[in-house]
Amino acid sequence: MSVAPREQGYEPKNPIRIVTAASLFDGHDAAINVMRRLLQRGGAEVIHLGHNRSVKDVVDCAIQEDAQGIAMTSYQGGHVEYLSYMRQLLDERGAKVVIVGGGGGTILPAEIEELTAAGIDRIYTPDDGRSMGLEGMIDDVLERCDRAPVADGDLGLVERLPEQDHAAIARLISLAENRPDLADRLDAELAKFTPERTIPVLGITGTGGSGKSSLVDEIVRRFLLDFEDRRIAIISVDPSKRKTGGALLGDRIRMNAIGDPRVYMRSLATRQSNLALSKHVQQSIDICKAAGFDLVIVETSGIGQSDTEIVDHSDVSLYVMTAEYGAATQLEKIDMLDFADLIAINKFDKRGSLDALRDVRKQYRRNHNSFGGADEDLPVLGTIAAQFNDRGTNVLYAKLMAAIEKATGAGLASTFDPSAHTTETGYVIPGDRSRYLAEIAESSDSYESWVLGQSDVARRMYQLSGTIAQLRERVGERSLRINDAELGDAARAGASIVRVIEHVEGEPDYLIDLIRLYNDLKSRLDPGCRELLETWPDVQRRYAADRYQFQVRDRVIEQDLVTETLSGLKVRKVALPRYKDWGDLLIWLLRESTPGHFPFTAGAFPLKRRGEDPARMFAGEGDAERTNRRFHFVSHGQPAKRLSTAFDSVTLYGEDPARRPDIYGKIGNSGVSVACLDDAKRLYSGFDLADPTTSVSMTINGPAPMVLGFFLNAAVDQQCERVLAESGRLAAAVARADELYAAKGIQRPRYRRDLPRGHDGLGLALLGVSADEVMDPEVYARVRTETLKVVRGTVQADILKEDQAQNTCIFSTEFALRMMGDIQQHFITNKVRNFYSVSISGYHIAEAGANPITQLAFTLANGFTYVEYYLSRGMDVNDFAPNLSFFFSNGLDPEYSVIGRVARRIWAKAMKNLYGGNDRSQKLKYHIQTSGRSLHAQEIGFNDIRTTLQALYAIYDNCNSLHTNAYDEAITTPTEESVRRALAIQLIINQESGLARNENPLQGSFIIEELTDLVEQAVMTEFRSLSERGGVLGAMERMYQRAKIQDESMYYEGKKHDGSLPIIGVNTFLDPDGSPTIVPGEVIRSTQAERDGAIEHVERMREFRAGASDAALERLGRIAVTDGNLFDELMEATKVCTLGQLSGALYEVGGQYRRNM
């Protein structure tokens, strides 16, 4: 995302340091990224923390970095508690730091007044944006923060260094930076407190982008594990901008291990050009030594080939590089290969790394005149810092500590065993499959060439057949002999095309030549194409009937093919083309075909399921009971219950409800709070989860494996409850559950409200226990097996999309993908055939700003990446492909009218021709949600019009399920009235709109066919672009997807702003008042009782399950470090552990997500 240069603006009088971040459990980082760029351009040194930052993270950073200001964005609710708590912690620690923030329209005027009263300096509103402009707001922030960073009296803070006072350490480093006139006095004071023992300095330097910060974080994590009572300081240097004086101090965003109180980190700007270190780095080191740290790490900014400055400041030096250094002769120019004690070739999973290791080792030998010994003994190692518990990084750490101890004798002898801490993880995509996206594009091109070639053969045969018939009429011969042996049964029953034409005695020679030419062409027609043409008359007869039979797995389904209008006309559900030319017909059959037939362009199934419109009922607010009530409200009277669940941000980030203010304010806001099995039971109670007309969709990604475990166990327990009731044993089971709680003096969980209308109580009898605790194990096992086979629904669990667009990743990417694979393997083993293990989601890519082509291309590319990963794990494509589903947004751009048909066609062709998938694997099923981005806070009544048109696109394109947004979602959580109107949009289209009686209305349209081809070609072009960058994962490392999404978002916003993209009621057709932004009178929030109830239930559950949860977490950790299936164990652990407990345990063995800039 680009930021225009500042030609003029506020000129700071002092060096300004500002911390920028998005609030806890908030992945919306686009706005704060723009702000931090503008602040940097205004001359500030910006310490950027990225998204999902707790108050403690931000406050600790502000104090350690001695920042004058904090700039926050908050879009997920809870901002009053969050920012007030931030001011409270800063005040408690005596830090006078300016706090500013913004959150668009989510922060109400009354809340701004409350925050101002709590000491927040400024909350910027959308009206401020319009009146002040972005740069005006930035100038205001800079002016508020522009105060002298240090004072003469700060020199006395040296006396507080032995207390490990981070604020004192930070202020003294600021003193060194800003008051060189006090340098000698500072040195003299420091000398009084510097311990006599040796405090080693590890210098880490290397090229820009080599992963130094990630490697530092991994070294720190291992140091904290290695030494339980030792403390470590990190000084990280980044370059200042020569033009503006600003700096992006971005190393801290990559650090996950520095939250430990034994760690101090300070970021420095060079404040000079063309150098990798600040000239104040030595005094900063001395300050850390005087504070008594046991190890000081200094990380430089990216350096060039001749830079060795770090050697002058360190006892041991580490040079970090990658394989991307050019020709091997370039190594001769790198001075650090002469001076570094250890050399790490990071990102060792990238192509060329083994060659780089060989070349660097050779160069090291030359530089050090050391030609004896084994290569493995040289201090040159391959590392993958991005991979949790990487073996190479473990070995590097052990060698570093040995080198430090040898060089300094500082008493840091390591007991770290590299092999004991190694988690074996293979590559996600094997090296020989790195071109998979390019292969899909090439396969598609080959298929299209083949289609054109075959259609040309068929067209010429058609023309010759007609010519021969006409000539025979001239010579009096009208009959044609057909070779029946070459036709199938269906063709013999009535086919009249693609026949074998034989010569009839007495015919002229020119007919003999034409017949020979015809039969030569026939031999070039693919047998499959020939069968398609031969059976076409039979297809026509089947669709001309009043009823149609087709098979879905082991069921034969029969449905009406005709509906009658009020005028008495019969409208066919599937209309067929009237082509006569065999070439045109073959092209249509190979590119389009009827719904339910390859390439499934018109639809995945022959006909839509009767009695089940694709409407999804979306809900999520407050506690489980409140959302359960909404589910019953929106599904009342509907023949099918298709429940779609939104979770609150606490759940989305895998944490438990808690009283800490920055968590407390977010419980149950913008989604439902689900922290354990009982929450899932209450949430879906009253719905038969084993009924084929019930399906549940869960929009959750990072902690999806745990929440899925809650749901599946809730479904199993619900059916166990039914079996117990039918056998007359439910009362005994309930009594047993009561006894278990009574024995511990704890109240058993219950449904905390009156049951809503339509709720029959199903799923509530066994609250507080797992069914296997109160019933016969064999009966439980049988019910579990049968339930898993029939339960219907979807869990989103799309971790690639999260990394690219939405930011609810919580685990390291490799570990998250492993758990996705474990879920799928569990599904295969347990024959879970009706539940989608992943919803590969373009919706959030579109909401982040991508255009429809980018949304489709990135989403399909992610889908094929999962296919490649699952195949690399040894799964059969036909075992897992049916468990994959997709999720797209529908806007009003013309491309959205064909997004489903293009997706189906691309998927089917690749699965059939490249992966060998069967008919079921070739069927792409997808959910549509109307565009949230197209909901505007001006003239909100117009939003339903946009949503109606988007829903029409989706229904005409045969989506498999559909959610229509409520018109007021632009400004608030939707009300029951707006939700009912949104659902009515679908019902009116499906039940009142006459054309919707037909199920292939787009087929035969010239513009639809043209758009389909254009969009498909554009997707293939994007596949090639991704492939050039190493596939999806390689492109993610370069942040290609994020950058492209942001560019497209800015392009859209620019056109909306200048009016070249007309949006009714927003930038044109304004009402007499100018169509102002509507501010809601109130925003639906969770109640204090709901928040307190969520916390109390988690506390009671932890108390009741204390021993069982500890054992379950221990087993989970043991499985995680082996090749065992984590989801198998999660299915057991979710019975006795809370979400936060499970996340915490998995962080220890799988690693946390590392944020990117």
Was 886 annotated as part of a binding site?
no
Q: What distances in angstroms separate CA 979 from CA 415, 969, 976, one per listed residue? A: 61, 10, 5
Q: Which two tokens stand for residue 562?
A: 């005709």
Residue 575 token pair = 């209309």
Q: Letter for the amino acid at 449?
A: S
Residue recorded with tokens 């707001």? 137
Is 439 known to sit in a ligand binding site?
Answer: no
Within 10 A of 1135 (CB to CB), how many other CB atoms are there?
Answer: 23
1093 is an annotated ligand-binding site residue: no
DSSP 8-state assignment for residue 810: -
DSSP 8-class letter at 805: I
Is residue 99 classed as helix, strand or coil in its secondary structure? Answer: strand
Q: Is 348 known as a binding-site position?
A: yes
211 labelled binding-site residue: yes
Dig out the tokens for 338 from the structure.
Answer: 């002469």
Matching residue, tokens 């006095």: 185
Cβ-based burial of 2 (10 A; exposed 0-12, middle 13-18, buried ≥19): exposed
Measure the CA dihedral 920/924/925/926, to 10°: 170
Phi, psi dihedral angles at 123 (to 5 degrees): -115, 120
Phi, psi of 986 (to 5 degrees): -65, -45
Is 1104 flagged in the annotation as binding? no
On whether 920 is known to bind a ligand per the annotation, the reply is yes
For 647, phi then psi, to 5°, come to -105, 150
Helices 704-726 + 1139-1150 axis angle, to 10: 140
Exposed e or buried b per residue across 456-477, where buried means at least 16 C-beta atoms within 10 angstroms of its C-beta: ebbbbbbebbeebeeebeeeeb
Structure tokens at 278: 């600040």
Question: Does the annotation place 770 within a ligand binding site?
Answer: no
Annotated binding residue at 210? yes
* Placement of tokens 């292969």 in the chain: 439
Instruction: Tell whether residue 271 is among the known ligand binding residues.
Output: no
Residue 347 is assigned to a ligand binding site:
yes
Return the closest-CA partner of residue 679 out of 635, 636, 648.
648
How is the beta sheet containing 835-836 ordered, strand by strand? 617-619, 641-646, 694-699, 793-795, 835-836
Q: Is 792 annotated as a binding residue?
A: yes
| CB-CB contact of 812 with 712 (8 Å) | no
Paired tokens of 256: 């996950």
Angle at alpha carbon of residue 272, lines to 267 and 276, rounded to 5°: 60
Angle between helices 704-726 and 813-829 (to 10 degrees): 30
| Helices marked H in 70-122 | 79-92, 109-117
Q: Which residues contact residue 724 at a Cβ distance below 8 angstroms, ignoring those fewer than 6 apart?
A: 730, 733, 765, 771, 775
How far apart, in whole angstroms, are the C-alpha atoms of residue 1150 and residue 438?
31
Question: Is 1124 annotated for ligand binding?
Answer: no
Tell me: is residue 2 an annotated ligand-binding position. Answer: no
The answer to whether residues 588 and 600 touch, using CB atoms and an 8 Å cutoff, is no
The tokens for 377 are: 């003994």
- Any known ligand binding at 673? no
The answer to whether 212 is annotated as binding is yes
Tell me if 836 is assigned to a ligand binding site: yes
Annotated ligand binding at 274? The verdict is: no
Check the annotation: does 679 bind a ligand. no
User: Residue 183: how many CB atoms within 10 A of its CB?
Assistant: 13
Strands (E), 700-806: 793-795
Instruction: Give the integer Cα–Cα distance in Å for 276 and 308.
Output: 9
Which residue is listed with tokens 């073959």? 586
Q: For residue 76, give every residue at least 6 positions away whose Cβ sits within 8 Å of its Cβ, in sequence order, or none.
A: 23, 25, 26, 28, 106, 649, 666, 669, 670
Tokens of 866: 């999962």
The reply to whether 1118 sits in an annotated binding site is no
815 is in an annotated binding site: no
Q: CA separation (Å) from 495 to 469, 486, 489, 581, 1095? A: 17, 12, 9, 15, 71
Q: Is 278 annotated as a binding residue?
A: no
209 annotated ligand-binding residue: yes
Torsion, CA 800, CA 806, CA 811, CA 815, rounded to 10: 0
Query: What are the structure tokens assigned to 906, written together?
Result: 């691309």
Annotated binding site for Mg(2+): 213, 237-238, 251, 299-300
Annotated binding site for GTP: 209-214, 254, 346-349, 1037, 1156
Annotated binding site for substrate: 642, 792, 836, 885, 920, 925
Annotated binding site: 28, 209-214, 237-238, 251, 254, 299-300, 346-349, 642, 792, 836, 885, 920, 925, 1037, 1156
Annotated binding site for adenosylcob(III)alamin: 28
